[in-house]
Amino acid sequence: MRNVRLYEALRRFARDAAAQLSAELEAGAELEFDVEATIGGRGPTLYRYRPLTDRFIARAWPALRALPSAASAAESLREGAALYLEARGVADDDAEPALRALLERLYEDQTNFAFPEERFERVYAELEQSLYGDARPCLFVTCLRGVECLSGPVRLGARERLELRPPELVELELPVELAGVVRADGGTTMVCLELLAEGAVAPLEHQFRERLRELRLALRLLAEGRVDPFAIGFRRVAESRWVCFELERPGPGRGEPLRIDDERAAELGELLAVVRGRAREPRLELALERFDRGCAAADPQVALLDLLCALRALLAEHTDTDRASLGLRVAALCADVPDRPRVRRDVERALSLERSLLAGPITAQGSDADAVAPVVRELERHVRALLRDVLCGYLELDLARVADDMLLRATGEVEIAARDLRVSKPRADADEARAGSAVSGDETDPLGFAAVPPTSGSQPFDDPDDYSAPV
């Protein structure tokens, strides 16, 4: 036996199903039989009655699937349903057909529905061989402080068995260290990941760390809240003892606990999928890393610097023009036209606080000390919105160009006025100048320049001063 939880869930369902089927048989439900002929060599043809238990189970299936133990059995078998059905010659990946196939195999050729202990062990061994082959199940657990599951377990991932569970719903004996954390902190959620170990277990530890980092990012992209992962993880191969190993702990974070209901659970699953399948662009990776650090920082001043770095990575700030237009571009991307001045002021206020921080830490008595936390909260909200839109494909990664296009489209008609800026003489002075020239008889052009007498004939060269060299 390599998966105790699966074994217990299927055994509980099989015993409940046996009681239900036996009750229906005693109540008068008919168990049909078929006559099969067996032809053997030169001997006579032999006939036998074969009970059609599969048809009986099919008619009783609506009542069987309504049993309380059916839901947990289907959930436990969900990941391996396709493999088991494939071994039985059925192309499906749903857990309910797998449960039904398990019952049909359990009562094949049986004339009653008493629970067969030895037969169940053989059928379960076949199931485990179909699911695992030579691999061994390896369970990883740790806890997240500050995350509360309001509607029970949250199952994440289409293939891997990754779950968020309240501690009271974790059906296993927790390590002493984790049990102490759970008792000390009521807002704790367990992270459980089940993998298959075909060889060394060390690579699976790296895989668990990566899945935990992706989960942490998805939670921080989901909403504002404190997400504080435990610094130690535990793993157990099959039924061996628990082994602890070190995990990354970026920081305790800030704010209130993050509460996950049914609606947020579905959204969290979608965010985890896009985080896991994202394009590994350097600027996007830098922005995600600094956003993660900014959300993890307990000090708002440290968070401000990290979040601004994430914002600059997203907007590709390289030139003085990029730096000057950062607030304007963020406002265009994160707000409608009426709200853009407010968003722009948020970013400019954050930049002003950054300059103050670079000059020296803001003390508790400083004028800006009380303003840091609300500015960081708004800045975190804007960075979260941009990252979500980029990861989900609503915005291209070239956010600077997208913002500039939005600003150009939002610009209305501009009125252009032209006027003559040349300085001219007063009219009285111009009239006097014209009158004086008329009295003197000098000819002037309309602009006031003296007329040059025209030359007639050839230029005389009798004057020695007209030569350029002495003669």
Domain of residue 212 covers 134-277
Residue pair 192/162 in contact by the 8 Å Cβ criterion: yes
User: Do 243 and 361 fall into the same domain?
Assistant: no
pTM, 2 dp:
0.65
Helices (H), 107-175: 117-132
What sign results for the dihedral spanned by CA atoms 454, 460, 464, 470?
Answer: positive
Is 466 contained in some domain?
no
Tokens encoding 239: 């039924």
- Residue 361 half-sphere exposure, CB side, CA atoms within 13 Å? 8
Q: pLDDT value at position 72?
A: 85
User: Do 284 and 371 fall into the same domain?
Assistant: yes
Q: pLDDT value at position 444?
A: 47
Residue pair 234/146 in contact by the 8 Å Cβ criterion: no
Residue pair 376/303 in contact by the 8 Å Cβ criterion: yes
Is 35 contained in some domain?
yes
User: Do 272 and 386 fall into the same domain?
Assistant: no
Q: Which helix (DSSP H) or strand (DSSP E) does residue 190 occupy?
A: strand 188-197
Looking at the structure of the chain, the number of domains it has is 3
Tokens encoding 218: 């998805």
Nearest to 329 by CA among 238, 395, 399: 399
Nearest to 70 by CA among 141, 19, 132, 133: 19
Q: Whole-angstrom Cα distance, residue 248 to residue 335?
A: 35
Is 161 contained in some domain?
yes
The one-digit pLDDT tens for each residue of the chain (471 residues) are 567 778 888 999 999 999 999 999 888 888 888 877 665 556 676 777 788 888 899 999 999 989 999 988 888 777 655 555 555 555 555 778 888 888 988 998 888 899 999 999 988 888 877 777 667 778 888 888 888 888 778 888 666 778 888 876 565 566 666 666 665 555 578 888 888 777 677 888 899 999 999 999 999 999 998 888 888 888 888 767 788 888 888 888 888 888 898 899 999 999 999 999 888 899 999 999 999 999 999 899 999 999 999 999 999 887 888 888 899 999 999 999 889 999 999 999 999 999 888 887 666 545 555 678 899 999 999 999 999 999 999 999 999 999 989 888 876 554 656 777 776 655 555 555 555 555 455 554 544 445 555 555 555 555 555 555 554
Is 207 contained in some domain?
yes
User: Do 238 and 172 fall into the same domain?
Assistant: yes
Helix and strand numbers, DSSP H then E, in the chain: 17, 11
Nearest to 210 by CA among 270, 279, 140, 130: 140
Is 458 contained in some domain?
no
Q: pLDDT value at position 446?
A: 47
User: Do 216 and 327 fall into the same domain?
Assistant: no
Residue pair 329/404 in contact by the 8 Å Cβ criterion: yes
Rg, C-alpha atoms of the chain: 41
Tokens encoding 18: 């046996």
Residues 6 or more apart whose CB falls under 8 angstroms from that of 24 comprise: 60, 63
Q: Whole-angstrom Cα distance, residue 410 to residue 329?
A: 12
